[in-house]
């Protein structure tokens, strides 16, 4: 998987790439991440990349030209998925991450300040938001995409982790425990020490359904629930009363 990230703040992203898992994946050649400072493509003598908005109002907008010039230099860009990080985009979900992970090459444009000249939309495939809140720029959102997509690239992490975790089935993950058995009076649920595999699996499913019901009931509508799951949900709802 190759990422090309267009940003005015490449140093913000460098730290992420020094993280143990991503660093190892880059060293193994599973990932390639290029950071492109599009200020270097500014054609004016002061190397500025922003200007006042035609509509007036406070703040500066990033011009389209330096970004477009930087994009034109990226090898193979025509076959890459091109994203613009923006609070105005569709919200990122695990489903979307899985779809993005099917690409071999992703180009990400990070805005900053008050935004980018809207003509940038002629050069990207889609706008992506990481949630309904406004950050100072697209760097943190771009890092979220790099992390979420990279962990689905084969061999980047141990291969059976992704299927068992939150959102892969539109259910939140069941709670997990490690040593010690008792900490500050809090014990590991005894069922997990019982060695009874079938009961443990049932417990995990129940906990997963319960957490989703309590924290993200909206996800249950999208989850594929069996008759047994519905019975468990009925028990969970009755447990409340």
Number of residues located near ligand ADE, criterion CB under 6 A: 12
Nearer to ligand ADE, 66 or 87 (CB): 87
Determine if 87 is a binding residue for ligand ADE (CB under 6 A). Answer: yes
Least Å distance, CB 36 to ligand ADE, is 18
Please tell me the distance from the alpha carbon of residue 85 to that of residue 9, in angstroms, as a whole number: 14
Can you list the alpha helix ranges (DSSP code H) found in 19-159?
20-27, 64-72, 94-100, 139-150
Determine if 115 is a binding residue for ligand ADE (CB under 6 A). Answer: no
Nearer to ligand ADE, 76 or 131 (CB): 131
Site string for ligand ADE, 133-172 (x = CB under 6 A): xxx-xx--x-------------------------------
Instruction: Write phi, then psi, for 88 (nearest 5 degrees).
Output: -90, 5
Please tell me the distance from the alpha carbon of residue 32 to that of residue 42, in angstroms, as a whole number: 25
| 3-state per-residue secondary structure call for 94-137 | HHHHHHHCCCCEEEEEECECCCECHHHHHCCCEEEECCCCCCCE
Among 129, 150, 207, 212, binds ligand ADE (CB under 6 A): 129
Instruction: Write phi, then psi, for 50 (nearest 5 degrees).
Output: -125, 165
Among 76, 131, 175, 189, binds ligand ADE (CB under 6 A): 131
Residue 123: other Cβ atoms inside 10 A: 16
Residue 47: other Cβ atoms inside 10 A: 11
Determine if 130 is a binding residue for ligand ADE (CB under 6 A). Answer: yes
Q: Which stretch binds ligand ADE (CB under 6 A): 51-59, 60-68, 123-131, 204-212?
A: 123-131
Least Å distance, CB 52 to ligand ADE, is 20
* Chain residues in the site for ligand ADE (CB under 6 A): 85-87, 129-131, 133-135, 137-138, 141
């Amino acid at each position: 998987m190759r990422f090309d990230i267009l940003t005015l703040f490449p140093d913000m992203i460098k730290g992420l790439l020094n993280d143990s898992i991503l660093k190892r994946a880059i060293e193994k050649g599973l990932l390639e991440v290029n950071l492109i400072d599009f200020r270097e493509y500014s054609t004016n003598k002061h190397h500025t990349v922003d200007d006042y908005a035609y509509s007036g109002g406070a703040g500066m907008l990033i011009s389209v030209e330096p970004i477009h010039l930087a994009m034109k230099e990226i090898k193979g860009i025509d076959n890459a998925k091109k994203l613009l990080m923006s609070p105005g985009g569709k919200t990122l979900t695990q489903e979307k991450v899985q779809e993005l992970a099917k690409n071999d090459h992703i180009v990400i444009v990070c805005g900053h300040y008050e935004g980018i000249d809207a003509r940038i939309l002629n050069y990207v495939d889609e706008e992506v938001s990481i949630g309904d809140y406004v950050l100072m720029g697209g760097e943190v959102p771009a890092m979220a995409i790099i992390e979420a997509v990279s962990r689905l690239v084969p061999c980047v992490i141990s291969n059976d982790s992704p299927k068992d975790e939150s959102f892969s089935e539109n259910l939140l993950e069941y709670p997990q425990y490690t040593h010690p058995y008792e900490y500050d009076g809090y014990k590991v649920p005894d069922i997990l020490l019982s060695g009874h595999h079938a009961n443990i699996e049932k417990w995990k499913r129940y906990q997963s359904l319960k957490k989703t019901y309590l924290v993200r009931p909206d996800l249950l509508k999208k989850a594929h629930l069996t008759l047994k799951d519905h019975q468990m949900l009925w028990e969970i709802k009755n447990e409340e009363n």
